[in-house]
Structure 1
Amino acid sequence: MATGLQSRCIDEAIKYALEEKRFGIPVCEHQAIQMLLADMAINNELSRMLTYRSAWELMTGVSHGYYSTLAKCFAGDAANKAANSAVQILGANGYNREYGVEKLLRDAKIFQIYDSTNETQRNIIAKNLLDRIQQIGSISLIA
């Protein structure tokens, strides 16, 4: 769901950036806006890839929860970042209910706190890393 929210933020931000003009040129042509959109796209794809890896491990029976934890934590943070970026791109209109981005910003927060906070998820990730180092001396190829 967090990955889907990110996609919606990207869609809304791009739609607005293509239609609106600032200083006589489309918002999407400003480099600062392009950087925000690029970061949103990168994080969205990484969220999707982590989710797919987690699902693959679950389907093949090798899941230890590590990638599920990574996916939940990363996607939740990325959803919040995407929603914040969308509001930034829309400027003052980002808080206008007519555009819907303000609701995405409110909705995104739940992904960092629901079903265990991201701080707790980070503790679990760190414990997995520490256990792995103690077991085999490396964090490479965590399964």
Structure 2
Amino acid sequence: MIQAYIGIGSNLENPIAQLDRAIETLKKHDDINHFRVSSIYGSKPVGPQDQPDYINAAATFTTKLSPIALLDLLQSIEQAQRRVRERHWGPRTLDLDLLLYGQEQIQLPRLTVPHTFMLERGFVIKPLSDLAPDMLLANGKTVIEQLHQLDTSDLVFIKEE
């Protein structure tokens, strides 16, 4: 079994309900165990600012799914919740990103793990710090040390899961 971490985000069609639905779907999946989710935070969008603010969380679980099978599962949940990819960093009903898959480093056409921009984004690292503050990241820092390097002034606590 591998410990996986995902980022969960939404800024369309009742974002909190979108996160809740995705979380429930993942919790019920046969190949996902020991599921835990962070608190939920609000943040300004990355990229185009002509869109609503985002709601973000992180989750962790163990799985026997391969990285690509897990990516396929995450993308199928996005599709079930009517995700449309209209523009890069545009608005979305649901965004499920595979952040970490054990200690593996993966470079494939469809998947890069650790997630390419996770170390730069407070809306990823803050929820991750709720789950694993002392986890060592690929850059040699713990999650909490990385959090202290980021500007998180735009993050707003929404609710505890």
TM-score, L = length of structure 1: 0.29
Q: Please tell me whether Structure 1 or Structure 2 has the larger radius of gyration of its CA atoms.
A: 1
TM-score, L = length of structure 2: 0.27
Higher helix share: 1
Higher strand share: 2
- Structure of greater relative contact order (alpha carbons < 8 Å, 6+ residues apart): 2
